[in-house]
Amino acid sequence: MTALNTTRNIANPDDAYALLLAAHEGLSKDESDALNARLILTLINHIGDIDVLREALAVARG
């Protein structure tokens, strides 16, 4: 099992956030929600480890 990496792991977090905002630009609330859902499912597939997913969900819920 791989543990969830909660330390900063991206060289340019502001650029990543800007990409996320740009992806939502011009979308309705429903379209934006659908984009978020597709992105989450894509990243879940990329993670590929149910234990890491459980850990990430726990962290996200606080």
In order along its 62 residues, the chain shows pLDDT tens digits of: 689 999 999 999 999 999 999 999 999 999 999 999 999 999 999 999 999 999 999 999 99
The helix (H) or strand (E) run that includes residue 36 is helix 29-47
How many Cα atoms within 13 Å fall on the side-chain side of residue 35?
14
Maximum Cα interatomic distance, the chain, rounded to a whole number of Å: 40
pLDDT of residue 2: 84
CA 26 – CA 9 distance, rounded (Å):
29
CA 23 – CA 52 distance, rounded (Å):
26
pLDDT of residue 61: 96
